Structure 1
Amino acid sequence: MQTVVLLFMMGILDLSISQRYSQFQWLSHLRGRRQYATWQAEELDCPLECDCPSAYPTAMYCHSRNLQHIPVVPSHIKYVYLQRNHITSIQDGVFDNATNLVWVVLFHNQLSSDKIGKNVFSKLKNLDRLFLDHNELTRVPPNLPNSITDLRLGHNRISKILSKSFEGMANLTTLHLQANVIEEVGGVFKGLKSLTMLDMRKNKLRKIPDNLPERLQQLYLEFNNIESVPADFLTMHPKLQFVRLAHNKLTDKGLPSNVFNISTLVELDLSFNKLEKIPVVSRNLENLYLQANKIKEFSLGSFCSTVDMTNFSKLKMLRLDANEISAKDIPAEAAYCLRRVAFIDV
């Protein structure tokens, strides 16, 4: 009799569990995600395709799951990781239930511009980082929130940037557009008052972008088709510290005298171009890369107009290898002018 009573009580217990939790939630438990007795509401509404660990209650991990669509994002989620899937589209309303999202990570998918709704991101007023690199986008998604500080659109198929693509995005500090097919950008960056880093490597630019923001500190333009540098390039952008123009089509004719003689510049990369002379640089420059050009002479005046105890270059790294000069072309006086250089690579 006691055995019958015990079995009956166990049956009631199982029935109560099945009534208390939905089939969806019970299946999640069977899959092993709910391993503890204390289930939380945040865990229960997590999509089956994803993981929402209790240790990170505002994060939803859906990466590398062979997903073809974006699952429903619970309202409490702030960080959603959807990278390395097969997602091709984002429909309007998919994030409407989670308007407090701070990070949306979607790199390495198959997103195309025609399949992204016009207002997909517009309601995400707290969105800070949006990663859309390594997709198949042909243009910048419209109506991006003004709250974004880090936008990554590299390794797509963007060929043209519309004039209003970044309108109102005064908080944007980092913009990645590398490895696209952009030929010209016009003045699209003019209103980005907080932008400090712009990466446009591996595009098809024929000139340095116009109207770059005044606060810009890092500018990466390697692997383009740039032939010249404007005479007022650095005076117009006094906070630039790192400028990389390697693998372009620069010649001596395309570099006005003293264009790089600006005190704020810390690193300048002009390697893999067609220069025949060392350009004049500021005494405050620390790293200069000129390898793989056609430089035929070592001009000490490019680094020091005068040499004494107080006037000398702060250069630490100088690369001149793969040019048409050798160590014997470096004058003895270079030891006084370039006294901080660890070594000169020729």
Structure 2
Amino acid sequence: MRTAVLLLLMGIVDLSIGQRYSQFQWLSHLRGRRRHAGWQAADVDCPLECDCPSTYPTAMYCHSRHLQHVPYVPSHIKYVYLQRNQITGIQDGVFDNATSLIWVVLFHNQLNSDKIGKNVFSKLKNLDRLLLDHNELTRVPPNLPKGITDLRLGHNKISKILSNSFEGMANLTTLHLQANDLEDVGGVFKGLKSLTALDMRKNKLRKIPDNLPGRLQQLYLEFNNIESVPTDFLKTYRKLQFVRLAHNKLTDKGIPSSVFNISTLVELDLSFNKLERIPVVSRNLENLYLQANKIKEFSLGSFCSTADITNFSNLKMLRLDANQISAKDIPAEAAYCLRQVAFIDV
């Protein structure tokens, strides 16, 4: 009986505290109780909705918690994980207390461009990675920090990019814009001096974007509506090593002679288009994907102008399946020209 009365009194005491305290004071009271219960100091300043393990004192894990808003972020946090929630908006000032943030992970939420403040990210001068893919964004958030190196905006509903969206972002090396509604991006990438990888798969592009950065090495443009390749495309962007143009509307007419005969190119994917001939490629090319086109003949001259002991292709992978040729169409001389090939699929 005494024990029951004591527990009741304890409950009454906690209830009275809850009535006297404001919302934030009540949360502080709960955190104080955690401190007395033996929680580490790093956990005390952690939102109740999240985990801040003492083994990773600068990380805050709030993923898959059914959150509808961004919780309070302590000033010492550098990595915040908010993916797989139901967050629809972010108000200005949410991150103002945590200006040391390096990573902000917000993919797989319900972010709406109209519900994101104009200066949400502007004070995060140390931000390196911003992951906003798989949301409901219709435009690139404004005033992004200039020091970001990895920006992910894929799988949204972006149909237009303002000319100043990436202005001053000279450190950006990786940009993901796949699976949006982009038809034309103009010259928005021109100032991205450090960009090496650009992913624009699954959009509505009718041409290869203009004014690509000179350091670009990887360009992914699969599943668009591109019909042609500019004549000096690879001469202009000489550092490109991986070019993927599968699932477009390319024809022989849209591919200028020798446009792909550039020594720096390592991988070229032209599969699932409407080509009838094998384009001329560099002897340094290692992987060529031409499956599911309308190719009618095997032209050895596309790989080697002459075939001898010193003049041969470095091609290792060649796919020609789902075309209008078979193994018997490959001439015997191919054994000299394509001596490095490990696999030919016809």
Normalization by structure 1: what TM-score?
0.91
Q: 1:307 to 1:35 in 2, by over 3 A?
A: farther
| 1:128-143 alignment, distance < 5 Å | 128-143=128-143
**Which residue in the other structure is 2:54 paired with?**
54
Q: Residue 115 of structure 2 aligns with which residue?
A: 115
2:86 maps to 1:86: yes
Over 3 Å counting, the alpha-carbon distance change for 1:297 and 1:95 in structure 2 is same
**Matching residue of 2:292:** 292
**Helix, strand or coil at the partner of 1:119:** coil
SS of corresponding position for 1:278: coil
Is 1:158 matched up with 2:161?
A: no
Q: Measure how far apart 1:36 and its partner are.
A: 7.0
What residue in structure 2 maps to residue 191 of structure 1? 191
Q: Which amino acid aligns with 2:27?
A: F
Local SS of the residue matching 2:233: coil
Q: Which runs of 4+ in 1 moved over 4 A?
A: 33-36
Which residue of structure 2 aligns with residue 263 of structure 1? 263
Distance 1:176 1:63 in 2: 21
- How far off its partner does 1:43 sit? 1.5
**Which whole-Å deviations, capped at 9, do the CAs of 1:77-107 have from their partners, x for residues lacking one?**
0000000000000000000000010000000
Shift of 1:38: 6.1
- Give 1:34 deviation, angstroms: 6.5
- Structure 1: where are the runs of 5+ without partners? 1-6
Q: Hey, what does 1:27 align to over in structure 2?
A: 30
Asked whether the equivalents of residues 275 and 293 of structure 2 are also in contact (C-alpha less than 8 Å), the reply is yes
Q: 1:333 to 1:127 in 2, by over 3 A?
A: same
Cα deviations across residues 145-165 of structure 1 (Å, max 9, x unaligned)? 011000000000000011000
TM-aligned CA deviation for residue 35 of structure 1:
9.7
How far has the Cα of 1:324 moved from its partner? 0.2
Deviation of 1:297 after TM superposition, in Å, equals: 0.1
Residues 63-74 of structure 1 mapped to structure 2, 5 A cutoff: 63-74=63-74
Separation of aligned partners in 2, 1:202 and 1:136: 16
Which residue number corresponds to residue 77 of structure 1? 77
CA shift at 1:307, angstroms? 1.1
Deviation string 1:101-152 (CA, Å, 9 cap, x unpaired) is: 0000000000011110000000000000000000000000000001100000
Q: Give 1:39 deviation, angstroms.
A: 2.8
- Match in the other structure for 1:176: 176
What residue number does 2:203 align with? 203
1:24 alignment partner, SS class: helix
Partner of 1:235: 235
Report deviation, 1:23: 5.0
Partners of 2:31 and 2:340 in 1: CA distance: 63
Q: How does 1:293-332 map to 2 (within 5 A)?
A: 293-332=293-332
CA deviation after TM superposition for structure 1 residue 198, in Å? 0.1
2:144 alignment counterpart: 144
CA contact (8 A) 2:198 2:220 kept: yes
| Aligned counterparts of 1:63 and 1:210: Cα–Cα separation in 2 | 38
For 2:262 and 2:73, locate their aligned partners in 1 and report how far apart those are by CA, in whole Å.
50
CA distance in 2: counterparts of 1:158 and 1:84, whole angstroms: 20
The separation in 2 between residues aligned to 1:111 and 1:125, in whole angstroms, is 22
Distance 1:47 1:159 in 2: 36
Normalising to structure 2: TM-score of the pair? 0.91
* 2:40 is aligned with 1:39: yes
Contact kept, 8 Å, 2:32 with 2:44, in 1: the verdict is no
* CA–CA distance in structure 1, aligned partners of residues 320 and 39 of structure 2: 65
Q: CA RMSD in A?
A: 1.9
Name the structure 1 match of 2:20. none
**Residue 343 of structure 1, CA deviation:** 2.1
- Are the structure 2 counterparts of residues 305 and 85 from structure 1 closer, same or farther at C-alpha, using a change threshold of 3 Å? same
Distance 1:219 1:137 in 2: 23
Cα distance in 1 for partners of 2:26, 2:117 equals 32
Q: How many Å separate the matches in 2 of 1:124 and 1:332?
A: 62
Q: Residue 277 of structure 2 aligns to which amino acid in structure 1?
A: K
Across the two proteins, how many residue pairs are aligned to each other? 327
**Structure 2 unaligned spans of 5+:** 1-5, 18-24
Q: Distance in 2 between matches of 1:39 and 1:178?
A: 42
Residue of structure 1 in register with 2:333 after alignment: 333
CA distance in 2, matches of 1:334, 1:34: 74
Question: 2: distance between equivalents of 1:235 and 1:147?
Answer: 29
Q: What is the one-letter code of the residue matched to 1:130?
A: L
Percent of aligned pairs with the same amino acid: 84
1:299–1:35 distance in 2 versus 1, CA, 3 Å: farther
Asked whether the equivalents of residues 285 and 315 of structure 2 are also in contact (C-alpha less than 8 Å), the reply is yes
Matched to 2:306, the amino acid is: T
Query: Following the alignment from structure 1 to structure 2, what is the Cα–Cα distance between the partners of residues 172 and 147?
Result: 7
SS in 1 for 2:234: coil
Separation in 1, partners of 2:70, 2:194: 31
Do the aligned partners of 2:31 and 2:45 also contact (CA within 8 Å) in 1?
no
